[in-house]
Amino acid sequence: MLDADFFRRWMAAATASVDREAERLTDLDSAIGDADHGSNLQRGFRAVATALEKDAPDTPGAVLTLAGRQLISTVGGASGPLYGTLLRRTGKALGDASEVDTAQLAEALRAGVDGVMALGGAAPGDKTMIDALLPAVDALGDGFAAARAAAEQGAEATIPLQARKGRASYLGERSIGHQDPGATSSALLIATLEEAAEG
Ligand SMILES: [Mg+2]
């Protein structure tokens, strides 16, 4: 079972991962966006880490809801509201249970991804974070390693796509040949579930 500690470890691992990969995310965003994805997420997840230390929410849902609120209030551009909505909707779907299982997490994450699609208007194949998140949610029933592999494959599969949403879509065909930064950071977020499970 996954308790509040697991979700705090997940957010801590995500913060560390975004710190490690910030430069790569910004490089990807400089190719087809405005070169701020790494620094934006870094600022947001550091605020998440600080808030979780201060408030110590005691249910899985409360951890993710607080994290989502922090991302919405500290990250500018599109990625703050999108990531914030992902975590807040997922947290709300988990309710006030003190522990959840992987199937419940998968169901809640699906609600979170639905929220992201509703907010951003992106569908699968539009070269966005959805292309990593949706395959991960579908694979989560087979475990965290499977979700990680699906998210990483989904992010890599954005390379040949033409962007149809977000700033990269302004580039039209010139967005082809570059991995989407949002799909890449989404794969990082999913990959850190496995780290959290290892303790
Ligand atoms: Mg950007």
Q: Compute the distance from residue 165 Cα to the ligand 1 centre, in Å.
A: 13
- pLDDT of 167 reads 87
Rounded to the nearest whole angstrom, what is the distance from the C-alpha of residue 77 to the centroid of ligand 1? 7
Average pLDDT over residues 114-121: 97
pLDDT, tens digit, 9 for 90 and up, residues 169-178? 999 999 999 9
| DSSP one-letter string for 84-108 | HHHHHHHHHHHTT-SEE-HHHHHHH
Average pLDDT over residues 34-59: 95
What's the CA-to-centroid distance between 80 and ligand 1, angstroms?
10
Residue 33 C-alpha to ligand 1 middle, in angstroms?
Answer: 5
Q: Which amino acid, 71?
A: L
Rounded Cα distance between 199 and 107, Å, is 23
Mean pLDDT value of segment 145-153: 98
Confidence of residue 76 (pLDDT cuts 50, 70, 90): confident
Instruction: Give the whole-angstrom CA distance, residue 54 versus residue 52.
Output: 5
Do 95 and 65 meet the contact criterion of CB atoms below 8 Å apart?
no
- The CA 167 to ligand 1 mean position distance, Å, reads 7
Domain ranges for the chain: 2-198
Task: Tell me the backbone φ, ψ of residue 98, rounded to 5 degrees.
Answer: -85, -20
Share of the chain above pLDDT 70, in %: 100
Cα 143 to ligand 1 centre (Å): 31
* CA–centroid distance, residue 35 to ligand 1 (Å): 5
Residue 162: its H or E element:
none
Q: Which pLDDT value is given to residue 30?
A: 93
What percent of the chain is modeled with pLDDT above 90? 95
The answer on pLDDT for 166 being more than 90 is no
Classify domain 2-198 by CATH number: 1.25.40.340
Cα(195) to centroid(ligand 1), Å: 27
What distance in angstroms lies between residue 130's CA and the mean position of ligand 1's atoms?
A: 16
Residue 3 is classified by DSSP as E
Strands (DSSP E) along the chain, which ranges?
Answer: 2-3, 99-100
